[in-house]
Structure 1
Amino acid sequence: MARPVPGTSGGKDWAMITYPQQKFESIKSEVEQRYRILDGSSAYDTNHMARTVALAFRVPMVIAALNERYRAWFSSSHGVSEALDDQVHDLCSLANLADRFFQVEDMAEDQYFSGEKLVSEAPNMRFFAGVPLRDPDGKRFGTLCILDNKPRVMSESDSRLLKSFAGLLSNDICVRSAGRYAVQDLIHAEEDKCSLYDLAVTDSLTGALNRRAFFHLTEREVPRAERHRVPLTAVLFDIDHFKKVNDVHGHAAGDDVIASLSRIVSKEIREEDYLGRLGGEEFGLILPETTPSQAVSLTNRLRQKIKGLTFLGEGGSFSITVSFGVAAIDPGERSVHPALERADRALYVAKRNGRDRVELAVECLGRLSA
């Protein structure tokens, strides 16, 4: 799961920032609606063309028998029930052997068609005619077929009309097919953009912001906190004796520790908070609208949860502890860096005082005691 950039939709237990999902869904919906394609399984309804052909030739049954790829996307028929669909397509497949206009005046008298179920049983079709459907390169992708339950002979003008209808339908299907591929290309491009965004801003092991993205995204919070006169607090923390974890239990266990630490912190912080992996086992938090004392309560809760974890490495089972330094972003500051420097000094104090503890920057202590 992933946590969107603050200001987009998301849940508090998501672990990393991603390309804004609302923007992706909006673009996807826009291009799909533009081509009147609702989802991957729906077929564009061209039955109006089939009805027009049926009226023009006064026949009860019309169908565009398409190859498998187009048939999955498009539907064009009139008078063909679901029960008869396969039979009609089987009949049309015989006409696909012809590469031009094709007609059978009376299928009941024709040696190739008389045995077809559609002819010998209800609805007892007798007349059949078909014209190839072709793409702009001349490649055949189906047949426009008309059927009648009485014998008939098509005139030259009727055959030309049927060919014209086939040309119109071919063009319509090809244009919309190209549109569908355009939709797919646009959606794939947006999906690639999502992936590239994730790669650009997140740490691959933890899903937290990488160092560059952390500083870039959190800088916007400083003027916002100043403008709205709300507190903003910085936290630095790292794993105590992490080198020993790698040396005794192996680097795979070290990676597991780092990833688990990030998951626990991500579940405890809010959607609007920022978690970044700043290097190795060191992490940073920027907590909008949070006082230093509130940050201390949060980090002590995190400290206890992390302390309760058990890991298994090459040297057996083990547990870890984490030390935290907390500092406020002061009014008038234009960057998170000064506060993070104060948090770093507080983290150093936590290490010096025995580790597995939270230390508040001395500047904050003086302010709280005043």
Structure 2
Amino acid sequence: ARAELQRSEARYRLLAEHVADVIVTLDGEGRFLYVSPSAQALLGYAPDELAGRPLCDITPSAEAPRPGTVVELTVRCRDGTARWAEVNTAALPPGAGDGAVLVCVFRDISARKRLESDLKHLATTDGLTGAYNRRSFVEVCGQELRRTHRRARPTSLLLMDIDRFKRLNDRFGHAAGDEVLRQIVETGRRVLRSEDVVGRIGGDEFAVLLPATTLEQAGRVAEQLRTTYERLAVPARGGTATFTVSTGVAEWKPHLRTVEELLQRADCALYAAKNAGRNCVRTEEACGGRPQQDPPP
């Protein structure tokens, strides 16, 4: 029986020492007892560097994973970086030797997590500008507006449209037009706060949700953006492209039911800005209803 146990242990160690996954055993206090050599590749630690140390030295939790579970978590590497690992944990039978009570298998899933993140980014953002696409903008705004309702704080929305964007494209080319669209987001973010939500919701139409911002404050932000864009000069074929924006501003009200309703109120104000001559800001207070005719091209 002893010989069979020794052969079984030898097979286990042979397996543990030749797989990419990191196999560890833990004692009752969550300290490493055995660490397979593959820890060097995944974590940068030699096995003897981890022996006797608690699992929480490399994981965000102070507790060991529960037996019979598979969890995904980040692990801290020796050089201070973090990697994603899938951890499969099982209980060891009593008397397994050296006081081990758990065996954990760490599998590196960092590449999969990067792919998931990339796919999520592609699904939620506009590929040209990096802003949220319309669907994701509406979803994120819906979450923020629910928080607004609970906290009874003001929240406003800007709806911006590039003035005569087709003419700019026709004169300077689509490459210049694309750069103008990128600058709306890139330059705008230098003016906006980190908590403000930016979305490209149409061809040359952008929306910005401003949490904890009244209509009056949002109007000042819109005016700051307007003057910032007016001063920009975008290198283009055959010259330098300049552009202006018209902006409508609306504030969330408790009786509104959806983000789309808030967008409609801002759209009404945007039309008022267009009809006032473009390159200006109008709030919903000055809208007086959507005009019967679109502004001249």
Checking the alignment, whether the CA contact within 8 Å between 1:233 and 1:328 is kept in structure 2 is yes
CA deviation profile, 1:60-107 (whole Å, cap 9, x unmatched): xxxxxxxxxxxxxxxxxxxxxxxxxxxxxxxxxxxxxxxxxxxxxxxx
Measured after TM superposition, the shift of residue 205 of structure 1 is 0.8
Q: Could you tell me which of 288, 303, 309 is aligned with 2:226?
A: 303
**Cross-structure match for 2:44:** 42
Checking the alignment, whether the CA contact within 8 Å between 2:22 and 2:42 is kept in structure 1 is no
**Cross-structure match for 2:251:** 328
Measured after TM superposition, the shift of residue 279 of structure 1 is 1.3
> Equivalents in 2 of 1:334, 1:32: separation in Å?
51
Q: Does 1:222 align with 2:145?
A: yes
**Cross-structure match for 2:194:** 271
The residue type paired with residue 333 of structure 1 is L
Q: Could you tell me which of 340, 349, 356 is aligned with 2:272?
A: 349
Measured after TM superposition, the shift of residue 361 of structure 1 is 0.7
The residue type paired with residue 354 of structure 1 is G
> Equivalents in 1 of 2:167, 2:219: separation in Å?
27
Checking the alignment, whether the CA contact within 8 Å between 2:162 and 2:243 is kept in structure 1 is yes
Q: Could you tell me which of 359, 365, 369 is aligned with 2:282?
A: 359
> Equivalents in 2 of 1:309, 1:347: separation in Å?
21
Q: Residue 312 of structure 1: SS of its match in structure 2?
A: strand
CA deviation profile, 1:165-206 (whole Å, cap 9, x unmatched): xxxxxxxxxxx9xx67x31xx111111111111111111111
Checking the alignment, whether the CA contact within 8 Å between 2:158 and 2:207 is kept in structure 1 is yes
> Equivalents in 1 of 2:40, 2:154: separation in Å?
46
CA deviation profile, 1:253-283 (whole Å, cap 9, x unmatched): 0000000111011222222211000011100
Measured after TM superposition, the shift of residue 228 of structure 1 is 1.1
Measured after TM superposition, the shift of residue 317 of structure 1 is 1.3
The residue type paired with residue 228 of structure 1 is R
Do the aligned partners of residues 220 and 314 (structure 1) sit closer, same or farther apart at CA in structure 2, a change above 3 Å counting?
same
Q: Does 1:316 align with 2:239?
A: yes
Checking the alignment, whether the CA contact within 8 Å between 1:327 and 1:364 is kept in structure 2 is no
The alignment's TM-score, normalised by the length of structure 1, stands at 0.51
Q: Residue 205 of structure 1: SS of its match in structure 2?
A: coil
Checking the alignment, whether the CA contact within 8 Å between 1:292 and 1:364 is kept in structure 2 is no
Checking the alignment, whether the CA contact within 8 Å between 2:248 and 2:269 is kept in structure 1 is yes
> Equivalents in 2 of 1:42, 1:229: separation in Å?
49
**Cross-structure match for 1:213:** 136
Measured after TM superposition, the shift of residue 220 of structure 1 is 1.4
Aligned pairs, number = 205
CA deviation profile, 1:185-236 (whole Å, cap 9, x unmatched): x111111111111111111111100111001111112222121111111110
Q: Which runs of 4+ in 1 moved over 4 A?
A: 31-36, 38-41
Q: Which structure's residues are more often helix, by fraction?
A: 1
Do the aligned partners of residues 317 and 224 (structure 1) sit closer, same or farther apart at CA in structure 2, a change above 3 Å counting?
same
Q: Residue 334 of structure 1: SS of its match in structure 2?
A: coil
**Cross-structure match for 2:62:** none
Structure 1 gaps, min length 5: 1-30, 48-175, 366-370
Do the aligned partners of residues 315 and 225 (structure 1) sit closer, same or farther apart at CA in structure 2, a change above 3 Å counting?
same
> Which of 1 and 2 has greater Rg?
1
With a CA cutoff of 8 Å and minimum separation of 6, indicate the structure with the bigger relative contact order. 1
The residue type paired with residue 260 of structure 2 is H
Measured after TM superposition, the shift of residue 286 of structure 1 is 1.2
Deviates more, 1:223-232 or 1:300-309: 223-232
Identity over aligned residues, as a percent?
37
Checking the alignment, whether the CA contact within 8 Å between 2:169 and 2:176 is kept in structure 1 is yes
Checking the alignment, whether the CA contact within 8 Å between 2:195 and 2:211 is kept in structure 1 is yes
Q: Does 1:203 align with 2:205?
A: no
The residue type paired with residue 188 of structure 1 is A
> Equivalents in 1 of 2:111, 2:133: separation in Å?
25
The residue type paired with residue 323 of structure 1 is S
Q: Residue 272 of structure 1: SS of its match in structure 2?
A: coil
Deviates more, 1:295-304 or 1:219-228: 219-228
**Cross-structure match for 2:209:** 286
Measured after TM superposition, the shift of residue 295 of structure 1 is 0.4
Measured after TM superposition, the shift of residue 364 of structure 1 is 8.4
> Equivalents in 1 of 2:48, 2:115: separation in Å?
33
**Cross-structure match for 1:87:** none
**Cross-structure match for 1:120:** none
Q: Residue 354 of structure 1: SS of its match in structure 2?
A: coil
Q: Could you tell me which of 216, 220, 245 is aligned with 2:168?
A: 245
Measured after TM superposition, the shift of residue 45 of structure 1 is 3.4
Checking the alignment, whether the CA contact within 8 Å between 1:329 and 1:338 is kept in structure 2 is no
